[in-house]
Amino acid sequence: MRTVIGLMSGTSMDGIDAALVRTDGETRVEPVAFLTIPYEDGFRAELRSCLGGTGPVEAVERALTDAHADAVRRLLETAGVAAPAVDLIGFHGHTIHHAPEERRTWQIGDGARLAAATGIAVVNDFRSADVAAGGQGAPLVPLFHRALADRLERPLAVLNIGGVANVTWIGRDGTGPGGAVIACDTGPGNALVDDWVLRQTGGRYDAGGALAARGRVAEGALTTLMAHPYFDRPAPKSLDRDAFDPAPVAGLPAEDGAATLTAFTAASVARIVPHLPQAPVRWLVCGGGRHNATLMAMLAERLGVPVDAVEAEGWDGDALEAQAFAYLAVRSRKGLALSLPATTGVPRPMTGGRFHPAP
Ligand SMILES: Nc1ncnc2c1ncn2[C@@H]1O[C@H](COP(=O)(O)OP(=O)(O)OP(=O)(O)O)[C@@H](O)[C@H]1O
Ligand SMILES: CC(=O)N[C@H]1[C@@H]2OC[C@@H](O2)[C@@H](O)[C@@H]1O[C@H](C)C(=O)O
């Protein structure tokens, strides 16, 4: 067992998730502490200006790395743990460009700078090796989901609703670390609704789904959105944050636009079911989207089986991605797979990550 920090800056650009865990990178995961440090609006705008790989990338990367070093300090303070007691940091960084079909994916975050600032060894650049080998480079959390879900009824789907939504399907055959797993990004998560709410009301997101709850789904716009060819492709497949054009909802009242974009997320999740070997008997939901009651109700209606927040199994749905990058960092050091043909489309199980020793 190692003591490891996982750091994630997700596509919703809400802030840094920092988790301290004890894990062997295989079957054992013991959460110790977790916190989220929200970005200030000014930094969020700078980060946004780098999406697509343009803008002041170098300066933003330095600032982002320093913010992560600060997150490490605060996490250790909260946990009452000293830096020398930590074996490793898994540092995802922030995705500013993701185009696996061009064999390109770019997560900013300077691993050597973080190791120097914290005095702790760092693994970063988790996605490059996968993409270089012809994989999607995402999602990478599925092996972590499978480790957590070892004893649960299957087929099970673990759904993360962040800026983008991604699913891990865990099949009936083969329990434990060898169980069948299929994964992909299902479509939009919260990003389109967040952007809509920002433009319409200046708010950061649709708290509780209250705005969407007051609106009506524009079925014509939803049909147009669902006509995107991404939804016909089987897994594995992945998305960049801004892959979908919300033009079909332009001009709708704020409530109806929110309702329609929320329904778009739910419909695109349901659209993955025909691509799976068997329909899941249950969906466990993590990521910020599980706080959106309107979205959760739409999912339950469309999926027709129980849809629960992961807290039903005692997991922390805000911490899971950060915990996953702690787990994956240990796997990287052990030379174990981070991705499989059925999770990212790599030709063979692939390890990955770049190691930066402690100074
Ligand atoms: N109380 C809430 N009500 C509704 N939505 C919420 C609430 N809290 C968070 N969210 C949504 O969750 C989002 C953040 O989710 P999360 O932190 O899981 O995303 P992320 O990790 O940045 O993205 P990704 O998983 O794509 O990398 C917010 O942008 C917002 O849309
Ligand atoms: C390229 C990239 O950063 N993708 C993220 C994004 O956010 C959610 C979804 O799209 C997922 O594919 C991935 O993150 C999670 C942590 C993953 O790799 O599993």
d(CA 106, ligand 2 centre) in Å? 12
SS3 123: strand
pLDDT digits (tens, 9 = 90+) for 230-257: 999 999 999 998 899 999 999 999 999 9
Residues 151 and 128 in one domain: no
In a domain, 12, yes or no: yes
Mean pLDDT of 119-148: 97
Residue 14 CB–ligand 1 contact under 6 Å: yes
Confidence (pLDDT) at 173: 73
Mutate to test the pocket of ligand 1, among 269, 290, 292 (most ligand atoms within 8 A of CB): 292
Residue 292 CB–ligand 2 contact under 6 Å: no
pLDDT digits (tens, 9 = 90+) for 18-67: 999 999 999 999 999 999 999 999 999 999 999 999 999 999 999 999 99
Confidence (pLDDT) at 299: 98
Q: Which atom of ligand 1 lies nearest, measured to the CA of 12?
A: 22
Residues 146 and 117 in one domain: no
In a domain, 322, yes or no: no
List C-alpha distances in Å: 20 to 48, 86, 87, 323, 356. 27, 9, 11, 7, 19
Phi, psi of 246, rounded to the nearest 5 degrees = -80, 15
Number of residues assigned to the chain: 359
Residue 339 CB–ligand 1 contact under 6 Å: no
Residue 110 CB–ligand 2 contact under 6 Å: no
49 is in an annotated binding site: no
Residues 94 and 61 in one domain: yes
DSSP string, 305-353: S-EEEGGGGT--TTTHHHHHHHHHHHHHHHT--SB-HHHH--SS-B---
Closest of 349, 355, 318 to residue 161, by C-alpha = 318
Residue 211 tokens, joined: 């705005």
Residues 125 and 204 in one domain: no
In a domain, 327, yes or no: no
95 is in an annotated binding site: no
Domain interval for residue 111: 2-135+332-339+347-356
pLDDT digits (tens, 9 = 90+) for 313-346: 999 999 999 999 999 999 999 999 999 999 999 9
Residue 98 CB–ligand 2 contact under 6 Å: yes
Residue 188 CB–ligand 1 contact under 6 Å: no
Asked whether the predicted pLDDT for residue 82 surpasses 80, the reply is yes
Confidence (pLDDT) at 174: 56
Average pLDDT, the chain: 96
Residue 187 CB–ligand 1 contact under 6 Å: no
Mutate to test the pocket of ligand 2, among 64, 102, 185 (most ligand atoms within 8 A of CB): 185
Distance CA 328, CA 326 (A): 6
Residue 95 CB–ligand 1 contact under 6 Å: no
pLDDT digits (tens, 9 = 90+) for 139-182: 999 999 999 998 899 999 999 999 999 999 999 875 555 569 99
Confidence (pLDDT) at 350: 97
d(CA 185, ligand 2 centre) in Å? 8
pLDDT digits (tens, 9 = 90+) for 265-320: 999 999 999 999 999 999 999 999 999 999 999 999 999 999 999 999 999 999 99
- End-to-end CA distance of the chain, in Å? 22
Residues 183 and 163 in one domain: yes
Mutate to test the pocket of ligand 1, among 144, 190, 268 (most ligand atoms within 8 A of CB): 190
Confidence band of 188 (pLDDT split at 50, 70, 90) = very high
- Residue 279's contacts (CB-CB under 8 Å, 6 or more residues apart) are 155, 273, 305
238 is in an annotated binding site: no
In a domain, 236, yes or no: yes
**Which domain CATH number covers 39?**
3.30.420.40
Residues 66 and 168 in one domain: no
Residues 40 and 179 in one domain: no
Residues 180 and 96 in one domain: no
Specify the number of domains making up the chain. Answer: 2
Residues 157 and 263 in one domain: yes
Confidence (pLDDT) at 41: 92
Reported pTM: 0.96
Confidence band of 10 (pLDDT split at 50, 70, 90) = very high
Residues 50 and 26 in one domain: yes
- Please answer whether residues 335 and 101 qualify as being in contact, where contact means their C-beta atoms are separated by less than 8 angstroms: no
**Positive or negative torsion for Cα 229, 231, 233, 238:** positive
Residues 158 and 304 in one domain: yes
Residues 110 and 234 in one domain: no
CA 238 to chain centre: 11
Interface predicted TM-score of the whole assembly (ipTM), two decimals: 0.98
Residue 288 CB–ligand 1 contact under 6 Å: yes
Confidence (pLDDT) at 179: 64
